[in-house]
Amino acid sequence: MQDRFDAIIVGGGLVGQALALALVAHGLDVAVIERSDPEAHLAPEFDGRASAIASSTARMLRKLGLAETFDREGCTIRAIRVTEGLSPRHLHFDSAEAEPAEPLGTMLENRMLRVALLARVRETVGIELVAPADIAAIGRGADRATVTLASGRMLAAPVILGCDGRHSGLRRDAGIRTANWRYDATAIVSMLAHEKPHEHVASELFFPDGPFAQLPMNDLPDGRHRSALVWTVRSSEAEGIKALSARAIAREAEKRMGGFLGRLELLAPASSFPLGLHHAERYWANRLILVGDAAHAIHPIAGQGLNMGLRDVAALAEVLSSSARIGMDLGHPDVARRYERWRRGDNWATAFATDGLVRLFGLPGRLPQEVRSFGLAAVNRMPRLRQAFMRVARGEGGDLPPLLRGELG
């Protein structure tokens, strides 16, 4: 006995759940299989990160039912200031100069995104969330794909959508290789309260041991100002920094920021993420399509990893729903190829640009420092180039699927 769906999503993280909502909005029936307990994903200690959601992906999430969360919890990014350490020369991206003049993005705690997505997934007819559940076997045959759970239940669909993250077992079992490398870098992540308001400005300060980012968040209910911290350090230093007291970390952060937000206080224990890049050589195999971190992951320097995964979601929803409308087998290679053609270029370009930034700003020595500082100031004097950068960062370039324009196809 098999339970049949239009698609089976393996992995109920941010990308898997957004994909489920997008597919159901287009009239498809899906199962989402998640191995861990979704309630555990909502605990504050599960994921202390916040994400910069670009304007195009924010439009999609709003359309999928998260508008209230964005309005209540989101903090818009009005400007981004980039400097080489504490050098007075800087590059300033201002949303007032962007076209259209919308915010550059919205900062949201990942936990809030998880709470909102899970609530929507649970209340949406057409999505069955199967969790926590262990997969015992996956079959990808000539006419259908099947997933057998450890409980003995069997699910079937024309296609399996692999949203199982960076260490994707589906990708590995399908024999899809990746281009990948580790950076000698670990991101230390926490939340800061600060004395002075951030005025919706994000700061990216590049130091020899890695970038230090302050990202504006909504004020606390008691009125204290708040920002997310993503501080990249050499991997050998990460454990030592995490072991420091909250006060000592806050003092070190104050020094790095040159005090521009005044006194700092750590609001959450620091957590750490070793950083690497990978990109799958193919996004599909027989009756399997990879999405989000299962297909690609990058350095968080430009806050683009989740946005790339959500752009995959928008393109895949359009490809699957338009194929379903003309009665195509959703597991047909032509369907997967169309998705891959749509997404590979953008994902590679973003990964390449991000990797280039990491390497450029990682070059040691005084001369590279001077050149970078001069380069930032030079770009700052070129409004057209700044506008082009802002367009890319907001995910507004290229052939946008309807969901990224805030429409259903």
Ligand X SMILES: Cc1cc2nc3c(=O)[nH]c(=O)nc-3n(C[C@H](O)[C@H](O)[C@H](O)COP(=O)(O)OP(=O)(O)OC[C@H]3O[C@@H](n4cnc5c(N)ncnc54)[C@H](O)[C@@H]3O)c2cc1C
- Minimum distance from residue 367 beta carbon to ligand X (Å): 30
Q: Which of 52, 277, 314, 404 binds ligand X (CB under 6 A)?
A: 52
Identity of the residue, 172 or 255, whose beta carbon is nearer to ligand X in the bound complex? 172
CB of 75 to ligand X, least distance (A): 12
C-beta atoms surrounding 195 within 10 Å:
13
The distance of closest approach from Cβ of residue 334 to ligand X in the complex, given in angstroms and rounded to an integer, is 25
Q: Which is nearer to ligand X, 12 or 331 (CB)?
A: 12
Q: Is 169 in the site for ligand X (CB under 6 A)?
A: yes
Work out which of 6, 73, 84, 293 binds ligand X, going by CB under 6 A.
Answer: 293
Q: Which of 6, 9, 16, 266 binds ligand X (CB under 6 A)?
A: 16
Q: Which of residues 255-274 bind ligand X (CB under 6 A)?
A: 273
Are the beta carbons of 232 and 211 closer than 8 angstroms? yes
Region of 12-20, 96-104, 204-212, 321-329 interacting with ligand X (CB under 6 A): 12-20
Question: How far apart (Å, rounded) are the C-alpha atoms in residues 294 and 171?
Answer: 7
Count of residues of this chain found to bind ligand X when the rule CB under 6 A is applied:
34
Q: Per-residue contact track with ligand X, 300 to 339, x per CB under 6 A?
A: x--xxxxx-x------------------------------
- Per CB under 6 A, does 46 bind ligand X? no
Nearest approach, Cβ of 88 to ligand X (angstroms)?
27
In the numeric block, the tokens 């990893």 are attached to 305
Reported in sequence order, the residue ranges of 234-357 that DSSP labels E, i.e. its strands, are 264-266, 271-280, 284-285, 288-290, 296-297
CA 380 to chain centre: 27
Residue with smaller CB distance to ligand X, 227 or 373? 227
Q: State yes or no: residue 64 binds ligand X (CB under 6 A).
A: no
Rule CB under 6 A: choose which of 7, 8, 10, 202 binds ligand X.
10
Output the CA–CA distances (angstroms, integers) from residue 152 to 2, 5, 147, 320, in the order listed: 10, 17, 10, 29
The single residue among 60, 75, 157, 230 that binds ligand X, judged by CB under 6 A, is: 230
At residue 323, the 3 state secondary structure works out as helix
Residue 14 as a binder of ligand X (CB under 6 A): the answer is yes
Beta bridge partners of 288: 160, 285
**From CA 346, how far away is CA 348, in angstroms rounded?**
6
DSSP 8-state class, residue 245 = -
Cα–Cα distances in angstroms (integers) from residue 371 to residues 4, 257, 360, 383, in the given order: 59, 21, 10, 20
Write down the H helix ranges in 124-231: 169-173
* Run of H or E residues at 115: helix 110-123
Q: Which is nearer to ligand X, 169 or 269 (CB)?
A: 169
Least CB distance to ligand X at residue 55 (A):
12
Instruction: Give CA 57 to chain center in angstroms.
Output: 10
207 binds ligand X (CB under 6 A): no
- For residues 198 and 227, give the distance between their C-alpha atoms in angstroms, rounded to a whole number: 8
Question: What distances in angstroms separate CA 60 from CA 15, 52, 57, one per listed residue?
Answer: 12, 14, 5
Question: By the criterion CB under 6 A, which residues form the site for ligand X?
Answer: 10-16, 33-36, 49, 51-52, 135, 163-166, 169, 187, 189, 230, 273, 292-293, 297, 300, 303-307, 309
